[in-house]
Structure 1
């Protein structure tokens, strides 16, 4: 950093009146102190890395002007920050008396268990008190939830729900110029503009810190401005990222538009990147000496020093001494930070994945008169057995009334009532602010849900088909699933994600509407995956899923078998055995509880079939055939597919010595693999069998049944397992 003081300082194009900007000399010096502190921390992080004491060196060098953006905003404006926002975060910490930004940052660098936000799990910028949720480093993955958070501010006001932030808040979301090209960023900004174009309040400032390069890939000159200046619904403001006063001017204007007009702003901050992408990045391999020298010449700290001299606040020699003292202070704090304890064991690491939260009473259900009014359009159906889609619809009616902070969002869920009628008439009952028709973008749907959850709402987003979730799986995997882990349980985004899926649709859809693989959800720590098999279990399980989200702040995937939505019969047309009465509102299937069917509970089953979803339906058909053979069968419906309900399952199997696992998913990567392993680990001494789908995508029409388990195959497998044991 000695070069700051050795070369001539850059000339200033203008020296505006500080009072005209509403500033004092002390304000300007405070921001420059923040810039210097951020830079010294970047340098010291590399020093600590060389000592084996720091583990993350993507720094903010060249981007320190974002301190002025923090100064232009309120500390209650939620900030979704990318990893070059160190100066922003330090400046915001200064707005909270008693904060210790240098110590906190160094604890994070050192992966200390004392780090206030992640407790040593990752180097992240975050603070619950400062409304800064920690972000992953996945490119642009935080933009959809930032947009969702912006949408939620007006939503909570319209719904008279108390949010986590004041009703006049704005959202700030920073990103790099390279990240702006990512489909996630483009989708989130498009969704923001789409809403704002329709006069939906979207008070958000996207701060694009444009340093002209993404690791080693250059951004074409003028590309960002050309791509965002003329976007409908979006205000474009540019500023010189080298000059904190110009940044503050632009940030004030952006803040005014977002806060007063409740409209989105794209704040284009042109800056440079210094020190390479990260500590391990040798930028001389892809940049010339002249390019590196040019960036150093445009170091924003040089302009800041020039401002101090222009306003006669401090000369360079004074600041040289100031910087030396700052280095000494940071290094002294660093020596203490690296001594602080690290995470001691696996239990400490995993403590924040699903922290146990106190139980609380369920919200009261509607009284009989209120429920009669809510269900008045169904009075001719009440009391009669119904199908899965109908009972799910009724459960949603009850839950939306019971939990006033629930909101739904998804494609076609409004007046159309969803593809399969599951959300029918919900919009008529609860209005478009609680049943939100979205644009056709799964990333934006899930991002909206995550953002709404950040603001105290309880989202129930819908993904129209399981195959479509892969367009947006990082919103679940990288964002929703990790938030509690990386914030030590301080931030959560509880929600119930409804997904229509699985196979067995007759003559419809092919792979894109008959996706029989959900392995993507089963390796996510803390995420709950649940699958009903009929309307009765669906209603009970959905109530428990909402309880888990509301009380325990869990992310729950609710996987609904499409082929069973309208199924009324089990074995014969007209038998009505797959139509069920609507369970009373207080009835639930508890987390980790299984259900089972047998004709004689007192008798040990000759074989127990363990299954779920369509497999349970087919196994119940098979049970009737096997009963005719004199084979006594118990069929267990797992319900909970992640984590597996092993304790309840072992109890349900009891003394049965034969277990056939029927899994409608593919042989490779299916629930059956885990079930087999866990049963063996728990010393199940009987005979195990497994029947799965083939390792194939699902083709169209009747060809689908060539690669899926069928009733006949279940009967054959069960007969083979009990061969010779019965009469």
Structure 2
């Protein structure tokens, strides 16, 4: 690595899990292939050897079962980190997540806390076909009782987990599959990050690009291309999908007066639709152009590389949407 402080997103996730295990004996990891195999994306590699099979627990391919065990362990006072191989498979545990984890604190009148963290890979771009490539984080962001995080940077991958483990309520963390190999310097002075607020990664005056996860990298690349055309784009990383940080989004759009939302989910009933609605409700008179949305095509994600690329939001799509807003208004 060219920078002594540079690590991969994958290593950031691994360091975060290891630090959580070292900090709290109540913390353990469970999921498919997290032990001997080292995790489907090698995030838990080496942890079984260090912490043993009582704290790094390989499970059967039975999401409804092991997620339920994690929720039960959390209500009993432990701090489980549950890994689901891909968010597509989380649908097999939907009853546990939505009807149990999200509701127990409310239905018990606050007698039970559910401090479970559920990590899962999301998104397309690695030719893993439809059953491993969809983006369901917007679905979970619909559910009261859950906190939904989407780390888009190495720094967030490294530091979001500690705050999630400390949260008394269930936290879902969506890690984009293409980001695992991304590398960036890690500032040793940063020891924690906010899991409540969005973050502005690039200031601008002509339009706001609002995104999360893999969309951040593509949006920053689009902003650089737009700058060459004299279009100054601000880039906002949501980071937290539930609860949404309305204040940061609205404040940005009130200054730039235009907005492009980049969301790898499908457009219909999406997180991008929710953000659009909130901007209309809170900043309608500040808009100088219609809100634009760049989302995935409304088809199952294809296996073939050229079709997958055509299905997912790309830098060129973001650039085209931004140009239409600025040059067409």
Deviation at 1:584, TM superposition (A): 4.6
Q: Contact 1:517 / 1:670 at 8 angstroms: preserved in 2?
A: no
Is the 2:115–2:166 Cα contact (8 Å) retained in structure 1? Answer: no
- Residue 488 (str. 1) matches residue 103 (str. 2): no
Residue of structure 1 in register with 2:142 after alignment: 523
Match of 1:697 among 291, 294, 300: 300
Structure 2 Cα separation of the partners of residues 716 and 581 of structure 1: 33
Query: Could you tell me how far apart the structure 1 residues matched to 2:2 and 2:322 are?
Result: 38
Q: Deviations over 1:459-479 (max 9, x none)?
A: 110000111111111010111
Inter-partner Cα distance in structure 1 for 2:179 and 2:256: 29
1:661 to 254, 257, 261: 261
> Which of 168, 171, 186 lines up with 1:556 in the alignment?
171
- For residues 291-440 of structure 1, the aligned pairs below 5 Å read 383-440=4-61
Q: Which residue of 1 aligns with 2:96?
A: 475
Q: 1:631 to 1:710 in 2, by over 3 A?
A: same
Q: Which TM-score applies when normalising by structure 1?
A: 0.43
C-alpha contact 2:254 2:283 (8 A) present in aligned 1: no
Quote the Cα distance in structure 2 between the aligned partners of 1:657 and 1:453: 45
1:586 and 2:191 matched: yes
- CA distance in 2 between counterparts of 1:605 and 1:425 reads 46
Instruction: Tell me what 1:465 maps to.
Output: 86
Q: Structure 1 residues 661, 490: CA separation in 2 closer, same or farther (over 3 Å shift)?
A: same
**Structure 1 489/432 Cα, relative in aligned 2: closer, same or farther at 3 Å?**
same
Contact 1:405 1:457 in 2 (8 A): yes
Question: Is 1:676 aligned to residue 281 of structure 2?
Answer: no
Give me the whole-angstrom Cα distance separating, in 1, the residues matched to 2:4 and 2:14: 15
* Aligned pairs (5 A) from 1:83-98: none
Q: How many Å apart are 1:412 and its aligned residue? A: 0.7
The one-character-per-residue Cα deviations of 1:600-657 (angstroms, maximum 9, x if unpaired) are x5xx521110000111111111111111111111110000111211123223445111
Give 1:455 shift. 1.7
Aligned match of 1:539: 158
Q: Per the alignment, in what secondary structure is the counterpart of residue 386 of structure 1?
A: strand
Relative to structure 1, the CA distance from residue 660 to residue 519 in structure 2 (aligned partners, 3 Å threshold; closer, same or farther) is closer
Q: Is the 8 A contact 2:32 2:83 kept in 1?
A: yes
Question: What is the 5 A alignment of 1:104-123?
Answer: none
1:613 to 210, 213, 226: 213
Question: 1:319-364 CA distances to partner (integer Å, 9 max, x unpaired)?
Answer: xxxxxxxxxxxxxxxxxxxxxxxxxxxxxxxxxxxxxxxxxxxxxx
1:709 matched residue in structure 2: 313
Residues 583/422 of structure 1: CA separation in 2 closer, same or farther (3 Å cut): farther
Indicate the SS of the match to 1:634: strand
Q: Per the alignment, in what secondary structure is the counterpart of residue 152 of structure 2?
A: coil
Unaligned segments of structure 2, at least 5 residues: none
Does the 8 Å contact 2:102/2:145 carry over to 1? yes
Q: Is the 8 A contact 2:18 2:47 kept in 1?
A: yes
1:582 Cα offset (Å): 5.4
- Aligned partner of 2:128 in structure 1 is 509
What is the CA distance between 1:534 and its match in structure 2? 2.1
Q: CA deviation at 1:381?
A: 10
Shift of 1:382: 9.4
Q: Distance in 2 between matches of 1:618 and 1:709?
A: 8
The structure whose residues are more often strand, as a share, is 2
Cα distance in 2, alignment partners of residues 382 and 403 from structure 1: 31
Q: Pairwise CA RMSD of aligned residues?
A: 1.9
Distance 1:718 1:478 in 2: 40
**SS state of the match for residue 499, structure 1?**
strand
Q: For this pair of structures, how many residues does the alignment match? A: 325
- Rate the CA distance shift 1:693–1:477 in 2: closer, same or farther, 3 A: same
8 Å Cα contact 1:530/1:640 also seen in 2? yes
Matched residue SS, 2:7 = coil
Deviation at 1:701, TM superposition (A): 2.6
User: Following TM superposition, by how much is the alpha carbon of 1:516 offset from its aligned partner in structure 2, in angstroms?
Assistant: 2.1
Q: Is the 1:460–1:496 contact (alpha carbons within 8 Å) kept by the matching residues of 2?
A: yes
Determine the C-alpha separation between the residues in 2 that align with 1:683 and 1:585. 34
How far, CA to CA, are the matches of 1:480 and 1:389 in structure 2? 27
User: Is this contact kept in 1: 2:3–2:185, CA < 8 A?
Assistant: no
How far 1:683 moved relative to its partner? Answer: 2.5
Counterpart-to-counterpart distance in 2, 1:406 and 1:496: 10
Deviation at 1:707, TM superposition (A): 1.7
Cα offset, 1:543, TM superposition: 2.3
Q: Alignment partner of 1:593: what SS?
A: coil
SS state at 1:691 partner: strand
Q: Post-superposition shift, 1:513?
A: 1.2
Q: CA deviation at 1:503?
A: 1.4
Unaligned stretches of 5+ residues in structure 1: 1-379, 569-578
Q: Tell me by how many angstroms 1:520 deviates.
A: 3.3
Displacement of 1:519: 3.8
Q: Residues of 1 paired with 2:244 and 2:84: CA distance?
A: 23
| Partner Cα distance (1:722, 1:611) in 2 | 18
Flag the 1:478–1:543 CA change in 2: closer, same or farther, 3 A. same
**CA spacing shift, 1:654–1:587, aligned 2, 3 Å:** farther
* Mapped partners of 2:35, 2:240: distance in 1: 29
Aligned-partner SS, 2:219: helix
Q: Which has the higher contact order (CA 8 A, sep 6+)?
A: 2
- 2:137·2:148 contact (CA, 8 Å) conserved in 1? no
How do residues 139-218 of structure 1 correspond to structure 2 at under 5 angstroms? none
1:723 paired with 2:323, answer: no
